[in-house]
Structure 1
Amino acid sequence: MIGILVDHKFLLGYYIEKQSRLLALEYGADLVYTEEIVDQKILSSKRIVNDILHTIDYVIEDDVVLRIATERERERCVLQVGTNSAERIAEVAAKVCNDVAAIDVNMGCPKPFSIMGGMGAALLTQPDKVKDVYICAANFLQILTSLVSVSSVPVSCKIRVLDKQEDTLALVKLIEKCGVTAIGVHGRRRDERQGDANRVEEIREVARALSIPVIANGGSGTIKEFKDIEQFRTESGASSVMLARRALSNPSIFRPEGLLTMQEEITSFLRLACEFDENFTMMKYVVQRILGNQQIKLLSDFHALSSVQSPRTEFHGMGVRRKGNQPEKGSAAIVALNARYCDMLMLTLDAPAGSPNGWLKEFDARGRATVVAASVLDICDAWSMRNVYENFKSNRQRGHKRKVVPDAETGIHFIDLTFPPKRLRDKCGATTPKCVLNSFCDECGIKRPVYCCKFRPVDKRFEALVEVDGRKFLSRIGQPNKKMAEQVDILLSETVKQV
């Protein structure tokens, strides 16, 4: 197992959902990393063997914290952990070591949630803390190895370069002495972002100074095709290369044979997303990232608008969001639009192709359908994948063979169902599920349903218990508010009607 992080590997970095990890492995990536998961979240989760999807799931209530495809990625998936506690990271190692290929401690994330929690790049200013974290984890892994007579899970970490190169070299030498198998180095500093230059020469100096493998990161901006990955590895002097941003936009970047078309990448992703029952929000996010500016295409005369000095708006091809008076640092690729045209832009997005709002036009009808999609089925329809969706859904339902029987202790019928909140918002002024159930009760001469909402502190979501004619029903899938929790429980009304 130690060799898993050594020379000449191409790695997929910090991916949120499993489908993109599996897709990268299919295309040729050697290893894939999970997104950064906070140690406490893993420790609070429950490990479940999902026989329907053939995965190992770590769940909190109905939220899947981590899902590992046992047969396809277990031996090539690296768990990336955010931590500031030697004790907790050791507990994480004990909990997940049999389900992942390696564990990576993230010491380079510059995002506020990591910094404020004393994790990620915040650890770079605490050398003593760094050493303490790894020693405790290493000791625990040694104990684990001796007890179960298996190889220990390799441990790596990922950092950003410090403000002074000599400080970076001192830090990585300290980390090397801790005994890590490999170290990932992102060539930007804590306060820098993707628009800033990646310090390839500083990564090269780190590689020269260490005897352990160095994984170069931060080169997505210069990598356009497969051969560029090897060029970046050579220039940085590193053993391996980790890609994230480029692979999110072009998953097939790992194919030695060359990039696939946008349609091939999206349909391949949707196939995996349907197979592993991915949620709507994540599915739409990934498809839109692959689509990029293919969702809509600006006409050439929009450039005149960007010269007006006024409050700014960022356009990414995935939506519009207001900015302050100055563009964000490193945003050279972002189109700056005059604020007074924002309303026109939003109207155009909703208008049919060829509308009078003529400085925008549709580039791909499937992109437009993806933007307005309100469900997984809508996205699949946009890409002619309905049959794939229906087939996988049918297979899962056959595997569940769900029988609605009351819990022996509480008498509650648990039926875990939900629907997107957007569907409820779109029904403004129309008959809601709650109204349908009330009408049904009135027609049958039974008492209208009684609801009891409960707030779950663990994930800050709501669930509602509905009682109809002496029978209690509950969906354990948490909702963002009480209204949604009650409306979701009305999905059980069909069961009630069969009483």
Structure 2
Amino acid sequence: MCIFSSPYPSLPPFPIPPPFATSSPYLPSPSLLSPSSQDNNLDPTFTGLSIPVTCKIRLLNNMDDTLALCRTIEQCGVAALAVHGRTKEERPNHPNHNDQIREIANALSIPVIANGGSKEISCYEDIEKFRQETGAASVMIARAAMWNCSILRPEGYLPMDTVISSYLKYCTDYDNPFTYSKYTVQNMLREQQDTLRGKAFLETQTLQEICVIWGLGEYYKTEQAKQASLRLALNVERESGKVSMPPSADHVSIVEKVEEEQKVVEMPVQFIRGNYNNADLPKMLLNTYIYRNQLSGPKYSHIVYDKFFAASVVVDGIKYRSTLREKSRRYSEQGAAMVCLHARGVVNKTYGFVPADGARKYQYVIDEANKAREKGEKRESTENDKMEERSSNGDSAEHKKCKLENAVLTENSIIVNSGISSDVAECNIKAS
């Protein structure tokens, strides 16, 4: 049995069809309304290719039309056909038409890949059950794997926290964009987004903040230090991407230089929206400062680098700008204004670098979790010292008993906290 997954793990899976696909030159679901057009869509795909080409469709409203479409695609020479068991109008909350996928699989001579069964897949065994119900050669899943990718483990489901922690380590190691990382974790949390920890997670603005929630703050700092050293050795600058912020302006350099007979002030700062209240945004404070001191400006300008924005602001004849780029024009202007405020000493050193009071409603959850984790680590260290002392005194039986009890307690605690449902637990028991 084969299980297909996306070759681009950093991109989040999406329901089919995605909005952008309906206007793309690829094979979107609206074209299914004209089965006769498939020859024109598919034939050019094979030109000059030495590798197999596959195709994916949704069901049409009429089964006869669906079968006719599938046979047309088969005649084009595709190696396999993936079938999503819903029509274009149906969404994930609608039942998947497994019986129609089975009818298609029986009618074609090429392998059929069943898709759309995430709603009925809650453990590894369910993947094979879905394949048998559809009569397909293999299965393609997206949402079920996004919710917890350990569903692909024959050995059984892993706790959600274990999967998230492993994923965040990969994100840190390979510098995955913050927005993709947060989107993926959000899909794993699902209904747990309503918990205090979930709400604190939703407030995060950088990858570092997400790592802190799952106890990976030190891991993140260590890996970022390694990457910073490597960038320095390779003479490569980080120019975009919200990863972390230093604790204050004292930890970044302010560079003054002259360009075209104009003084320019630069700082490597990132505008993180969650660090501000609505009434203390950089542009608002800068406008107030300029008005009260009767200065000229502000005058903003922008440069676009491969869909990223770099802004500068001229105040009283001096240009201020951040050396980091932003994903939007508005954010780049806020970053430039922040540079001006710090360079002129208008705000305190921590302004914009740490969340302002009241900016993060659930920040206290993270702080309390960190304190509890630190206490737990100290307690565990003390208990380990005691057990080693007992072991050295010949009390090996009691030492082994303590280790066993601690292991069971730790494992059960993780499972309870991750909220694995009873049906998944049952699947794990079967797998073991």
Q: TM-score category by the smaller chain? A: 0.5 to 0.7
Aligned position for 1:480: 328
Instruction: Kindly report structure 1 stretches of 4+ aligned residues shifted beyond 6 Å.
Output: 403-409, 411-416, 436-439, 447-450, 468-472, 493-497
Q: Could you say what secondary structure the match of 1:157 adopts?
A: strand
Higher relative contact order (Cα pairs below 8 Å, separated by 6+ residues): 2
SS of the residue corresponding to residue 86 of structure 2 reads coil
Alignment pair present for 1:400 and 2:231: yes
Distance apart, 1:429 and its partner CA: 4.1
Gaps of 5+ in 1: 1-7, 19-33, 37-107, 143-151, 297-361
Question: Are residues 1:169 and 2:67 paired?
Answer: yes
Task: Give the letter aligned to residue 275 of structure 2.
Answer: R
Equivalent residue number for residue 336 of structure 2: 489
Deviation readout 1:84-128 (Å, 9 max, x if unpaired): xxxxxxxxxxxxxxxxxxxxxxxx934454336685211212334
Q: Aligned pair in 2 of structure 1 residues 390, 202: CA closer, same or farther (>3 Å)?
A: same
Partners of 1:211 and 1:407 in 2: how far apart?
A: 71
TM-superposed CA distance for 1:230, in Å, is 1.0
Deviation (angstroms), 1:474: 5.6
Note closer, same or farther for the CA distance 1:237–1:385 as it changes in structure 2 (3 Å cut).
same
Pairs aligned (count): 319
Please name the residue that 1:369 is paired with. 200
Spell out, residue by residue over 1:19-75, the C-alpha distance to the aligned partner (whole angstroms, 9 max, x if none). xxxxxxxxxxxxxxx757xxxxxxxxxxxxxxxxxxxxxxxxxxxxxxxxxxxxxxx
Change (3 A) 1:462 1:408: closer
Give the drift of 1:257. Answer: 0.4
- After superposition, the Cα gap between the structure-2 partners of 1:15 and 1:291, relative to the gap in structure 1 and judged at 3 Å, is farther
Range moving further from structure 2, 395-404 or 178-187: 395-404
Distance of 2:102 and 2:109 partners within structure 1: 13
What is the DSSP-based 3-state SS (H/G/I as helix, E as strand, rest coil) of the residue aligned with 1:188? strand
2:46 is equivalent to residue 138 of structure 1: yes
CA RMSD, Structure 1 to Structure 2 (Å): 4.1
- For residue 256 of structure 1, give the secondary structure of its aligned residue in structure 2: coil
Measure the CA separation in 2 of the matches of 1:238 and 1:388. 43
Q: CA deviation at 1:209?
A: 2.1
Aligned residue in 1 for 2:220? 389
After TM superposition, give the deviation of residue 217 of structure 1 in Å: 0.2
Q: Which residue is 2:170 aligned to?
A: 272
Tell me which amino acid in the other structure corresponds to 1:454. H
User: What TM-score comes out, normalization by structure 1 length?
Assistant: 0.54
User: 1:218-273 CA deviation, whole Å, 9 max, x = no partner?
Assistant: 11111111011011112211111111111111211000000001110111111112
Q: Which residue of 300, 312, 316 corresponds with 1:465?
A: 312
1:11/1:242 contact within 8 Å kept: yes
Query: Which residue pairs with 1:122 in the alignment?
Result: 30
Q: Given that residues 271 and 334 in structure 2 are in contact (C-alpha distance below 8 angstroms), is that contact kept between their aligned partners in structure 1?
A: no
* Residue matched to 2:56: 158
Distance verdict in 2 for CA 1:241–1:414, change over 3 Å: farther
C-alpha contact (below 8 Å) 2:320/2:340 kept by paired residues:
no
Segments of structure 2 that go 5 or more residues without pairing to the other structure are: 238-254, 345-432
**Alignment correspondent of 1:52:** none
Matched residue SS, 2:88: coil
The residue number in structure 2 matching 1:17 is 10
Query: Kindly, what percent of the aligned residue pairs are identical?
Result: 32
**Aligned counterpart, 1:421:** 273
Match of 2:90 in 1: 192
Residues of 2 paired with 1:457 and 1:471: CA distance?
A: 19
Structure 1 position 434, deviation (Å): 8.6
- State the shift of 1:185 in Å: 0.2
Which entry has the higher C-alpha Rg, 1 or 2? 2
The answer (yes or no) to whether the contact 1:13–1:243 under 8 Å persists in 2 is no
Q: How far 1:448 moved relative to its partner?
A: 7.7
In the alignment, does 2:144 pair up with 1:234? no
Q: Report the CA distance between 1:490 and its aligned residue.
A: 5.0
Amino acid at match of 2:325: I
Q: Secondary structure at the match of 1:248?
A: helix
Task: Quote how far apart the aligned CAs of 1:378 are.
Answer: 2.2
Q: What are the residue-to-residue correspondences of 1:194-213 with 2, within 5 Å?
A: 194-213=92-111
